[in-house]
């Protein structure tokens, strides 16, 4: 029936498409095609406009022209000289360039945080939030990469403002060199070693003053030598003491022997014996008188216990007894026994020798004790001298060491002041003139992307449409002959949904008629 729209839905089946079908598909969905194409093209243009178009870059060379001494208390510094820079050192320098501390210094120096502190409607960032946002943005856009098989670190910063990018990289280079020096040569080394030199110098002066005053205090400049001399004298005195004790023992034994001999020796010897008759008292009296005269003479010279005097007293007593008894008497004449006299003389000498030996032994013991006390004092003084010498040597070594370290720190500080560091700016940043990406390249990419997206959109929309558009589709999909086709009334010459005309199989046409 004319004016009636019949729509038959059926399942999708593979249909072979020709170039004509593809073109017809584009004409059927031309509105969708145009919208998709220009939308993608516009999005590409906006993206190209928003993305940074310029890239400023700088290059930093890490080299081995200077080896900084390691700060230590040792006299020598371990110096490691290598011809190449290790991968770890390159990565360390790269991480230093990306550190938050360095990026924050760049942001504060250039005032980049002010760009993020603007008020949007009712929202306004605090200074801390603006600073953190600026640091995050700069760190996110900064590309730091060690170039393979080189000692160069390349730093790239994309930006829409070429002058700002170059200024940021120039500031980054300047602050990076300062940061590198701070990390590898901490400040205050020279002041520290200068203070240590003054302190060790004072300690050395004090130790030398004590060493100078030592001889006056202890009485000898060399206690060890004096101790050895004293010990030698002690050995000599010990030898003399041993000899004296041996002599004393010998003399005591000799005295004992002499005393035994004295007990068995007669003090006098018989010189003459004569027997007198009775009436010879006259001779006896003369003899008694002579004896008394001799006694008187000896008594005036010797003590009463003198042996000859004692013997004379005994003879006088015998003579007096003989005269009193009026008996015949024997005239006996005796004389001193020289052996007895020698024994007495030797006994006297030995006693004197014993007294002398005892006194000498006592004196030697006192001298030995005094010398041993001197040795002990000298030992203490020697220990004190060794301690003073050791202290002075340590103070001298410390003074020499810290003087050397102070000079090294001074040289290092001077080298830092003249920018003689282990990193140099090989390529300074410059203002880029040409954009990093060509506009024609973005146009080409946008055109290809727009064609691809729009074609895909049309194809998807075509596949989602399940209506029949041509008799061929009906015969192909339903495998039924088409008897007639009803024209559409949508201004395109056919009745339908604006995509063409709808068809029915022959049997359905008969039923509907």
Write the DSSP assignment of 437-467 as a string of letters.
S-HHHHHHHHHHHHHHHHHHHHHHHHHH--S
Percentage of the residues of the chain whose pLDDT score is greater than 90: 3
Beta strands in 98-189 (DSSP E): 143-146, 152-159
Higher per-residue pLDDT: 399 or 89: 399
Mean pLDDT of 230-259: 89
For residue 48, the model assigns a pLDDT of: 61
- 8 Å CB contact between 326 and 273: no
- The Cα-based distances of 149 to 1, 81, 89, 146, 333 in angstroms read 83, 20, 13, 9, 141
Only one residue has tokens 């095609």, namely: 33
Q: How far apart are CA 373 and CA 177, in angstroms?
A: 71
Q: How far is CA 250 from the centre of its chain?
A: 73
Average pLDDT over residues 236-259: 89
Of 103, 147, 111, 145, nearest to 127 by C-alpha is 111
Can you name the residues that pair with 505 across neighbouring β-strands? 482
Residue 492 — pLDDT band, cuts 50, 70, 90?
A: very low
| 3-state class (DSSP) for residue 493 | coil
pTM over 0.75: no
8 Å CB contact between 198 and 403: no
What is the pLDDT at residue 123? 62
Section 257-278 average pLDDT: 71
Least confident of 191-195, 236-240, 405-409, 490-494: 490-494
- 165's tokens: 């990018």
Cβ neighbour number for residue 366 with a 10 Å cutoff: 11
Distance CA 497, CA 28 (A): 11
Helical residues (DSSP H) of 300-421, grouped into ranges: 307-325, 338-417
CB 310 within 8 A of CB 273: no
Q: Which of 286, 293, 336 is nearest to 311 (CA)?
A: 336
Give the sign of the dihedral formed by CA 34, CA 37, CA 40, CA 43. Answer: negative
The mean-pLDDT minimum among 127-141, 283-297, 432-446 falls in 432-446
Please determine, for residue 381, whether its predicted confidence score (pLDDT) is greater than 80: yes
What is the arithmetic mean of pLDDT over 66-78? 54
Specify the range with the lowest mean pLDDT, choosing from 299-308, 329-338, 455-464: 329-338
DSSP 120: B
Structure tokens at 336: 């001193």
- The answer to whether residue 474 scores a pLDDT higher than 80 is no
> How many angstroms separate the CA atoms of 347 and 262, rounded?
9
pLDDT for the residue numbered 267: 76
Quote the tokens at residue 465: 């449409």
Contacts of 454 by beta carbon, 8 Å cutoff, 6+ apart = 32, 33, 34, 36, 37, 40
What average pLDDT does range 212-227 have in this prediction? 84
* β-pair partners for 170: none
pLDDT of residue 29: 72
Report residue 153: phi and psi, to 5°: -110, 120
Task: Please state, in angstroms and rounded to a whole number, the distance separating the CA atoms of residues 466 and 81.
Answer: 79
Looking at residue 5, its pLDDT comes to 38
pLDDT for the residue 182: 76
Find all residues with CB under 8 Å of 44, minimum gap 6, and list them.
442, 445, 446, 449, 450
CA distance 341 to 326: 35
Average pLDDT, the chain: 75
Task: Give mean pLDDT, residues 348-365.
Answer: 90
Per-residue pLDDT for 480 more than 80? no
Structure tokens at 504: 């029915």
- For 10-54, the pLDDT digits (tens) are 444 455 556 666 676 767 777 877 888 788 777 776 766 665 567
Is 269 a residue whose pLDDT tops 60?
yes
Two tokens, residue 148: 């393979």
Measured between alpha carbons, how far is 166 from 430 in angstroms, rounded to an integer?
Answer: 6
Pair of tokens at residue 237: 């005195």
pLDDT of residue 443: 67
Residue 3: pLDDT over 60: no
Length of the chain: 513
Report how far residue 152's alpha carbon sits from residue 282's, in angstroms, rounded to the nearest whole number: 155
Residue 463 burial (10 A CB sphere; 0-12, 13-18, 19+): exposed
Instruction: Find the mean pLDDT for residues 436-445.
Output: 63
Amino acid 147: pLDDT: 86
């Amino acid at each position: 029936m004319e004016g009636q729209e019949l729509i038959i839905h059926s399942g999708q089946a593979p249909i072979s498409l020709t170039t004509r079908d593809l073109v017809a598909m584009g004409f059927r969905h031309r509105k969708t095609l145009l919208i998709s194409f220009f939308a993608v093209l516009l999005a590409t243009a906006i993206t190209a406009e928003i993305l940074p178009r310029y890239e400023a870059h700088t290059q930093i060379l890490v080299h081995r022209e200077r080896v900084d001494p390691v700060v230590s208390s040792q006299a020598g510094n371990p110096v490691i000289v290598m011809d190449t820079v290790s991968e770890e050192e390159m990565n360390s320098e790269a991480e230093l360039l990306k550190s938050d501390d360095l990026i924050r210094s760049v942001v504060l120096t250039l005032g980049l945080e002010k760009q993020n502190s603007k008020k949007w409607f009712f929202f306004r960032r605090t200074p801390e939030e603006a600073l953190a946002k600026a640091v995050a943005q700069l760190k996110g856009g900064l590309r730091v990469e060690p170039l393979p098989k080189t000692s160069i670190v390349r730093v790239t910063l994309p930006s829409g403002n070429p002058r700002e990018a170059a200024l940021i990289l120039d500031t980054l280079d300047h602050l990076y060199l300062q940061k590198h020096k701070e990390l590898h040569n901490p400040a205050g080394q020279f002041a520290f070693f200068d203070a240590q030199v003054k302190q060790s110098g004072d300690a050395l002066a004090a130790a030398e003053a004590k060493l100078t005053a030592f001889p006056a205090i202890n009485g000898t400049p060399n206690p060890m030598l004096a101790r050895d001399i004293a010990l030698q004298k002690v050995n000599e005195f010990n030898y003399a003491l041993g000899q004296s004790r041996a002599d004393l023992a010998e003399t005591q034994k000799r005295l004992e022997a002499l005393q035994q001999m004295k007990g068995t020796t007669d003090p006098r010897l018989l010189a003459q014996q004569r027997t007198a008759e009775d009436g010879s008292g006259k001779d006896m009296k003369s003899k008694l008188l002579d004896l008394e005269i001799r006694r008187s003479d000896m008594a005036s010279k010797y003590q009463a216990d003198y042996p000859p005097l004692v013997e004379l007293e005994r003879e006088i007593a015998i003579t007096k007894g003989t005269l009193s008894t009026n008996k015949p008497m024997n005239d006996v004449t005796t004389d001193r026994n020289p052996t007895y006299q020698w024994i007495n003389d030797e006994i006297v000498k030995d006693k004197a020798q014993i007294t002398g030996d005892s006194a000498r032994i006592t004196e030697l013991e006192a001298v030995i004790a005094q010398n041993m006390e001197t040795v002990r004092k000298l030992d203490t003084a020697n220990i004190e001298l060794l301690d003073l010498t050791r202290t002075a040597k340590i103070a001298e070594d410390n003074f020499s060491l810290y003087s050397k370290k102070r000079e090294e720190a001074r040289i290092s500080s001077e080298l830092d002041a003249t920018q003689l560091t282990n990193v140099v700016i090989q390529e300074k940043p410059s203002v880029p003139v040409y954009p990093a990406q060509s506009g024609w390249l973005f146009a080409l990419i946008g055109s290809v992307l727009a064609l691809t997206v729009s074609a895909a959109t049309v194809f998807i929309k075509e596949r989602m449409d399940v209506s029949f558009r041509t008799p061929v589709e009906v015969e192909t999909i339903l495998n039924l002959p088409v008897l007639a086709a009803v024209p559409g009334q949508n201004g395109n010459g056919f009745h339908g949904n604006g995509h063409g005309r709808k068809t029915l199989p022959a049997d359905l046409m008969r039923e509907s008629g």
